[in-house]
Amino acid sequence: MDTRQFIQRDETCWEIKPYGNMHVPAIIYADAQLLEDMDQKVYEQLTNVATLPGIVEAAYAMPDAHWGYGFPIGGVAAFDPEQGGVVSAGGVGFDISCGVRTLHTGLNIAELQPHKQALADALYRTVPAGLGSRGKIHLNHDRMHGMLTGGAKWALEQGYGEAQDLERIEEHGCMAGAEAHYVSPRARERQKDEMGTLGSVSLIRDICPNSCQFY
């Protein structure tokens, strides 16, 4: 991608001023080399996101941004319903509905720093990743039904998580009125061995400090 299309705000912040039908600027966070390596389609898709009704502040793209379906993968945007804002399935991964969860470890930097490589290795061994990966959790018919109807509460009952996790998930991890019977047999078959795994492309695990506490 040609960096001359942008106004460089600092070492890792690049802005596209609104033009045409854009309501807000488009901003990419990346160093110069990452930006140059991005596909031009990221520019096109991000500026298109900036034209959507009700978008606020800016259309953003993270350092891993690449060509997606409507939105660039790695794109971030917020919309105000009082300004005609929209809900865009493409913005959350309409194929698999990617989500983001933040888990507080209770650890601080001093405790974690000496063990960071061991922790990374343990996560790699414990959480299967990649296309078609299979995990240790196997869902038969009854467990599949329990998972689909109970959501995160079901996971907690199976020992996967802590009660405080539910407090940090919208609707406590189970949407009222959700109908499990709409999940097709083919989707159930694909899902039965994939729980607890990490996919490919932009699906990642980050360990991040926040005011000396790790998440």
pLDDT tens figures, 140-156: 999 999 999 999 999 99
What is the tally of structural domains in the chain?
3
184 Cβ neighbours under 8 A, 6+ residues apart: none
Instruction: State whether residue 124 is helix, strand or coil.
Output: helix
Higher pLDDT pick, 200 / 152: 152
Is 54 inside a domain boundary? yes
Is 97 inside a domain boundary? no
**Range of 180's domain?**
141-192
* Domain co-membership, 75 together with 17: yes
* Domain co-membership, 48 together with 70: yes
Is 42 inside a domain boundary? yes
* Domain co-membership, 66 together with 28: yes
Q: Please work out, in degrees rounded to the nearest 5, the angle formed at the alpha carbon of residue 114 by the alpha carbons of 108 and 116.
A: 80
* Domain co-membership, 176 together with 206: no
* Domain co-membership, 48 together with 63: yes
Is 98 inside a domain boundary? no
Looking at this protein, which amino acid is placed at residue 108? N
* Domain co-membership, 188 together with 203: no
Is the dihedral angle over the CA atoms 135, 141, 142, 146 positive or is it negative?
Answer: positive
User: Of 184, 192, 180, which Cα lies nearest the Cα of 136?
Assistant: 192
* Domain co-membership, 173 together with 202: no
Tokens representing 139 are 């869902």
What is the per-residue pLDDT across 114-129, written as a single tens digit (0 to 9) for each? Answer: 998 998 899 888 888 7
Is 21 inside a domain boundary? yes
pLDDT at position 145, please?
A: 93
